[in-house]
Structure 1
Amino acid sequence: MKFYRLERDPSPRYTGYLNAAHRLGLPGLEPCPTCRCGGAGAGLEYPCVDLSSLPPHELKKLSDPWPVPLEEIERLREVVRPLVPKDAMLEPGTLFGPLQGTGVGYFGQLDLYVPWALCVRREALERLQEAGVRGLQGCPTRIRFRTKHAPTLLEMQMELHGQFHPDCLPPDLQPPCPTCGNDFLMLPDPIILDAATLPSEPDLFRLRQGATLIVANERLVEAVRRLELDGVLFQELEVR
């Protein structure tokens, strides 16, 4: 099985731009007392998760991205855990709920509105599912367009699978911080995936060890090409 990285097609015809965001999420992390790292990661997004049943005071805290102590991150993780997928990673900066905002320009059938998040037109998702592509979960967005022929965009919620092969990781990589769990891992170049950790399905997923990396297998890539769906390019990744 071959695996591919998704990249946005740079052709000038794709002028689509979203001024949009997820309104709820875990806040950022204040500097850890052990490793001194803080901030918030990117790539962990669960747009199908509905947190509306939470008490208003918790929703207020989840709407403020300002960094908080690790103890508050851990508490908020337990608040949202019953409402998220069982294998969800809940790191500082994890986002929930629909993408909301405005959009302009022309979007392909598939669109990486940022490098780590994928939107798909509703008709394209339906065609992929009819073609037998497995494990696709599209979540409604709340995007407003000032045009009569606005696309209906769904944001993909993706499971986490797979790891980098040790051959592409630095030999002096530090072990994860014992306090906050930070793994100090940057996206390697070149990227090599560990074959033993990759799934046979779903056909589209985020890399568990690097959630900003969206990976598709050859089943999805072949379906996209056969159906002549546009908007993204596929770069084959080395697998060992």
Structure 2
Amino acid sequence: MRYFRVEADRAAGYTGDIDGTYKWLLPGIRGCPTCKATWSDISRAYPSVDLTPIAALADFEKPRPEPIEEYERLRELVRPFLPVGAIVEPGSSFGPFMGKGQGRFGPFAMPLSCWLLVQREPLEKLQAEGLLGLKGCRTQLRFRQRATPEFLDLEILPVGRAHPDCLPPERQPPCSRCGRLSLRLPEPLVLDAATLPSHLDVFRLEDFSTVIVCTQRFVDACQRLGLDGVSFRLLPTK
């Protein structure tokens, strides 16, 4: 099986632009007591998660850094609602993707390189092809135009890792308290074949969660169906 990085296709000629964010999120961490870092990462998003049963929803509505104890308290409130396989970090997002858009769109849209939206009809065609793990979640997007697209948000689970050979030999392990991995995305990126899933045709890496990966099956189905708006860059495996 070959694997590809999914990226926005700027050469496809679409003019569409979407500005938005998720309904709820975990705060960042302010001054981890172990590594001293203040940080968050918005790349992990779980749009199927409904946090409305939590009483203090206001705690999940404003991006901000908090002491690690408060972050950990809020993280534990979220855990019962997470899908199987989810990994959360400071800044992880939940609920529908909300915002506004305008312009001419293709089948796919990537508001950021780590978020992937797909229109309903193309998603249904991909699911009919038998691709694995394609879960589309409702969005709350407003379009000020006559031709209004219906975008769903793909819930992309974290599975798979970069191969150690493409990482710096003298690298630090993740922080033992907050989990922060102080590594830049390696170039070239090489995937660790032993960690890649057999049950998903689209996923994001566990250790570099901004990277969305798909299988050759997904690429072939998109090309067969004439679905554009994203490009595919082959990633070596080892």
Report the TM range for the smaller structure's normalisation.
over 0.9
Corresponding pairs, count: 238
Amino acid in the other structure paired with 1:86: V
Distance 1:178 1:18 in 2: 37
Q: CA deviation at 1:33?
A: 2.2
Which runs of structure 1 show a deviation greater than 2 angstroms over 4 or more consecutive aligned residues? none
1:201-240 correspondence to structure 2 within 5 Å: 201-240=199-238
Percent identity, aligned pairs only, is 46
Matched residue of 1:210: which SS?
A: coil
Q: What is the SS of the residue equivalent to 1:163? A: coil
Corresponding residue for residue 77 of structure 1: 75
Cα distance in 2, alignment partners of residues 179 and 215 from structure 1: 28
Instruction: Decide whether the 8 Å contact of 1:42 with 1:211 is kept in 2.
Output: no
1:120-170 Cα shifts (integer Å, max 9, x gaps): 000000000111111100111111111221110001101111010011000
- Which residue matches 1:184? 182
Deviation of residue 25 (structure 1)?
0.5
> For the residues of structure 1 that align with 2:230 and 2:154, how far apart are their CA atoms?
14
Residue 86 of structure 1 deviates from its aligned partner by: 3.1
Q: Which residue of 1 aligns with 2:192?
A: 194
* Residue identity matched to 1:11: A
What SS class does the counterpart of residue 83 from structure 2 fall into? Answer: coil
Any residues of structure 2 matched to 1:1-240 within 5 Å, and which?
1-11=1-11, 13-55=13-55, 58-240=56-238
Separation of aligned partners in 2, 1:179 and 1:227: 46
For residue 75 of structure 2, give the secondary structure of its aligned residue in structure 1.
helix
Distance 1:12 1:4 in 2: 18
Residue 12 of structure 1 and its aligned partner are, at CA, apart by 6.2
The answer on whether the counterparts of 2:47 and 2:93 sit within 8 Å (CA) in structure 1 is: yes
SS at match of 1:161: coil
Question: Aligned partners of 1:201 and 1:214: how far apart in 2?
Answer: 15
Q: Which runs of 5+ in 1 are unaligned?
A: none
Equivalents in 1 of 2:132, 2:83: separation in Å? 17
Tell me, yes or no, if the aligned pair for 2:71 and 2:90 is still in contact at 8 Å. yes
Aligned-residue offset at 1:107: 1.3
- Secondary structure in 2 aligned to 1:117? coil
Give, in whole Å, the separation in 1 of the partners of 2:4 and 2:70.
Answer: 37
3-state SS, counterpart of residue 210 of structure 2: strand
Deviation by residue 1:14-39 (Cα, 9 ceiling, x = unmatched):
11111211121000110112212112
In 2, Cα distance between the equivalents of 1:178 and 1:142? 37
CA contact (8 A) 1:3 1:217 kept: yes
Structure 2 portions without partners, runs of 5+: none
What is the alpha-carbon root mean square deviation over aligned residues?
1.1
Q: 1:159-184 CA deviation, whole Å, 9 max, x = no partner?
A: 11101001100011112222222121
Distance in 1 (alpha carbons) for counterparts of 2:54 and 2:69: 19
Q: Is the 8 A contact 1:16 1:106 kept in 2?
A: yes
Q: For residue 97 of structure 1, report the CA deviation from its aligned partner.
A: 0.6
TM-score w.r.t. length of structure 1: 0.96
- Greater strand content: 1
Opposite residue 91 of structure 2, the aligned amino acid is: G
- Tell me how far apart the structure 1 counterparts of residues 237 and 80 of structure 2 sit (CA, whole Å): 35
Amino acid at match of 1:140: R
**1:50-89 deviation per Cα after TM superposition (whole angstroms, max 9, x unaligned):** 111110xx21111121100111111111101111113211
> What SS is found at the alignment partner of 2:146?
coil
Query: What SS is found at the alignment partner of 1:90?
Result: coil
